[in-house]
């Protein structure tokens, strides 16, 4: 008996089909929030015409049913690449790209009253899209994005829900490079951002944290990273073939990516698991293009894990023990997960589920990644039991 017996088919990705015929039109870059057992989406860019959408739907994560919301009040105009967050019975929406202009309008939706209201302030962030908006301890945090001038921003704005005022943080520490389409999430009362498309016209793989108490940024050092960008580039030029598996992904027609560190990417979505792990999914990388990989970052060890690589290796390991499979690609094809995508949105539900919707091929599918209590521990033990590349 091995040490990994709790790794079963109950974990992993599941496609969730609607229990009713109603569903949102397929879109990319909409806004998403979960409150209780409901996932809310607003807006997005549809394929059917050149204008943006202001569709507003809720998905019941228990009954698997879509509900179209006809809200009262000052509803936001059609848009995409806006940012949304929520807490208790409120949803907030800021900015985005409208049909003909960039936006900096700010809205609050009251779930109980089913009503939108526009929040007017004298001081506010400039118009932008592909930024982030997160709730933390009575404050909303806006970071980054693309303004009308084009150069990506690295400003940090705080909206105090009590005073109903915006304030731009005066940062004395090192700050992340300006970026858009980055990943953002709250962990231990800190804003965590990962990757994104930078003001230097390239994608990134760095991790940063904003301390909400001190209002200072700090880069998180990666334990399985290279010592410098130059060292990393020398390695990639010399050993680039080691980035990929010998096994071929027949569905996506390219080799599997086998590194434990995510490549530079933008557009990934995230969840926090067991108050210790950052889980990210999907996005687009300059090297491998649009992808459907899942990576897990351990905040205690500061190391990344390639969830898909470990899952494949783990499945092969058990296949060889239980019933040897001659064609190992059959094992890979039995591992269900969403197709590669960028422009999708994702949000955490409960303590162990990442919900993903839509994407760049104008999808309206819903996927849920379910992680069981011991799965990450199993993967870590399995990782330590074999000779994996540690870069």
H/E stretch holding 87: strand 83-87
Examine residue 390 and state whether it is found in any structural domain, yes or no.
Answer: no
Q: Where in the sequence is the domain holding 45, given as residue range(s)? A: 12-385
pLDDT at 223: 86
Query: Considering the domain boundaries, does residue 337 fall inside one?
Result: yes
Q: Are strands 179-180 and 277-285 parallel, antiparallel or unpaired?
A: unpaired
pLDDT in tens, 227-272: 445 544 444 444 343 444 444 455 555 556 667 788 899 999 999 9
192-198-202 Cα angle (round to 5): 125
Cross-strand partners of 330: none
* Cα 385 to Cα 344: distance, rounded to the nearest angstrom: 35
Instruction: Report helix, strand or coil for 266.
Output: strand
| Domain assignment present for 5 | no
* Of residues 374, 386, 388, 381, the one with CA closest to residue 10: 374
Domain count, the chain: 1
Asked if the structure places residue 188 within a domain, the reply is: yes
Choice among 150-154, 226-230, 276-280 with the minimum mean pLDDT: 226-230
Residue with the two structure tokens 């598996």:
245
Among 58-72, 284-298, 350-364, top mean pLDDT goes to 58-72
Specify the pLDDT at position 173. Answer: 86
Residue 27 counted as domain residue: yes
Orientation of helix 307-322 relative to helix 375-385, angle to 10°: 80
In angstroms and rounded to an integer, the radius of gyration of the C-alpha atoms of the chain is 21
Three-class SS state of 178: coil
Burial (CB count <10 Å: 0-12, 13-18, 19+), residue 27? buried
CA distance 181 to 286: 14
In this model, does residue 67 exceed pLDDT 80? Answer: yes
Q: Give DSSP secondary structure letters for 342-359.
A: SS-EEEEETTTEEEEEEE
Q: Note the helical H segments in 247-366.
A: 307-322, 329-333
Give, for 213, the enclosing helix (H) or strand (E).
none
What is the mean pLDDT of the segment spanning 191-212? 97
How many helices and strands in the chain, by DSSP H and E? 4, 30
Please, is 141 exposed, middle or buried when counting C-beta atoms within 10 Å of its C-beta (0-12, 13-18, 19+)? Answer: buried
Domain presence at residue 255: yes
Q: How many CA atoms lie within 13 A of 334 on its CB side?
A: 14
Question: What pLDDT was estimated at residue 204?
Answer: 96
Mean pLDDT, the chain, whole residue set: 84
**How is residue 64 written in tokens?**
């698997």
At 372 the pLDDT is 74
pLDDT band at 314 (very low <50, low <70, confident <90, very high): low
Q: Report which of 109, 43, 34, 45 is spatially closest to residue 72, judged by C-alpha positions.
A: 109
Residue 306 has a pLDDT of 86
Q: Write out pLDDT tens, residues 315-355.
A: 665 554 444 444 445 445 556 889 999 999 999 998 889 99
Structural domain contains residue 22: yes
How far apart CA 175 and CA 26 sit, in angstroms, is: 36
Contact of 109 with 118, CB cutoff 8 Å: no
What digits encode the pLDDT tens for the residues 155-192? 999 999 999 999 999 988 899 999 999 999 999 999 99
pTM of the model: 0.86
The CATH number of whichever domain residue 147 belongs to comes to 2.120.10.80
Token digits for 352? 């162990």
The predicted model gives 122-149 an average pLDDT of 97
**Is the pLDDT reported for residue 362 higher than 90?**
no
More reliable by pLDDT, 114 or 3: 114
Highest averaged pLDDT of the listed ranges 7-21, 110-124, 273-287: 110-124
Residue 177 and residue 157 in contact, taking contact as beta carbons nearer than 8 Å: no
- The per-residue pLDDT for 229 is 52
pLDDT of residue 308: 82
Least confident of 16-25, 68-77, 186-195: 16-25
Is 4 inside any structural domain?
Answer: no
Q: Are 83 and 131 in contact (CB under 8 A)?
A: yes
Instruction: Say if CB 258 and CB 244 are below 8 A apart.
Output: yes
Give me the half-sphere count of Cα atoms (radius 13 Å) on the Cβ side of residue 284. 15
Low-confidence winner among 82-86, 174-178, 303-307 (lowest mean pLDDT): 303-307
In the prediction, which pLDDT does 243 show? Answer: 47
pLDDT number for residue 373: 63
**Average pLDDT for 143-163:** 97
Q: What DSSP designation does 80 have?
A: B
Percent of the chain with pLDDT over 90: 63
């Amino acid at each position: 008996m091995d040490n990994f017996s709790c790794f079963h088919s109950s974990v992993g990705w599941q496609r969730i089909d609607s229990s009713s015929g109603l569903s949102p039109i397929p879109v990319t870059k909409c806004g998403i929030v979960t409150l209780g057992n409901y996932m809310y989406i607003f807006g997005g860019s549809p394929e059917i015409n050149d204008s943006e959408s202001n569709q507003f739907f809720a998905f019941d994560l228990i009954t698997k049913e879509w509900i179209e919301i006809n809200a009262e009040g000052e509803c936001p105009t059609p848009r995409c690449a806006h940012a949304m967050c929520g807490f208790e019975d409120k949803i907030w929406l800021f900015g985005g790209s409208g049909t003909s202009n960039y936006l900096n309008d700010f809205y609050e939706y009251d779930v109980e009253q089913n009503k939108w209201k526009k929040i007017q302030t004298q001081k506010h962030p400039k118009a932008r899209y592909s930024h982030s908006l997160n709730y933390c301890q009575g404050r909303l945090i806006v970071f980054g994005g693309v303004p009308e001038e084009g150069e990506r921003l690295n400003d940090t704005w705080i909206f105090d829900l009590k005073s109903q005022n915006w304030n731009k943080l005066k940062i004395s520490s090192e700050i992340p490079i300006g970026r858009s389409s980055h990943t953002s999430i709250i962990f231990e009362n800190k804003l965590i951002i990962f990757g994104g498309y930078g003001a230097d016209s390239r994608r990134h793989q760095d991790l940063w944290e904003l301390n909400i108490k001190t209002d200072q940024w700090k880069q998180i050092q990666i334990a399985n990273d290279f010592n410098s960008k130059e060292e990393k580039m020398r390695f990639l030029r010399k050993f680039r073939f080691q980035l990929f598996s010998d096994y071929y992904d027949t569905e996506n027609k390219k080799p599997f990516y086998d590194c434990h560190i995510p490549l530079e990417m933008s557009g990934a979505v995230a969840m926090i698991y067991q108050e210790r792990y950052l889980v990210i999914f999907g996005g687009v990388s300059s090297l491998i293009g649009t992808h459907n990989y899942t990576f897990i970052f351990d905040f205690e060890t500061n190391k990344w894990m390639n969830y898909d690589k470990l899952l494949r290796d783990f499945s092969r390991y058990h296949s060889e023990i239980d019933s040897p499979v001659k064609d190992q690609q059959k094992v890979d094809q039995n591992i269900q997960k969403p197709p590669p995508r960028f422009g999708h949105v994702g949000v955490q539900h409960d303590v162990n589920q990442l919900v993903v919707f839509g994407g760049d091929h104008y999808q309206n599918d819903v996927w849920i990644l379910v992680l069981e209590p011991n799965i990450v521990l199993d993967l870590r033990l399995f990782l330590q039991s074999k000779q994996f590349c540690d870069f």
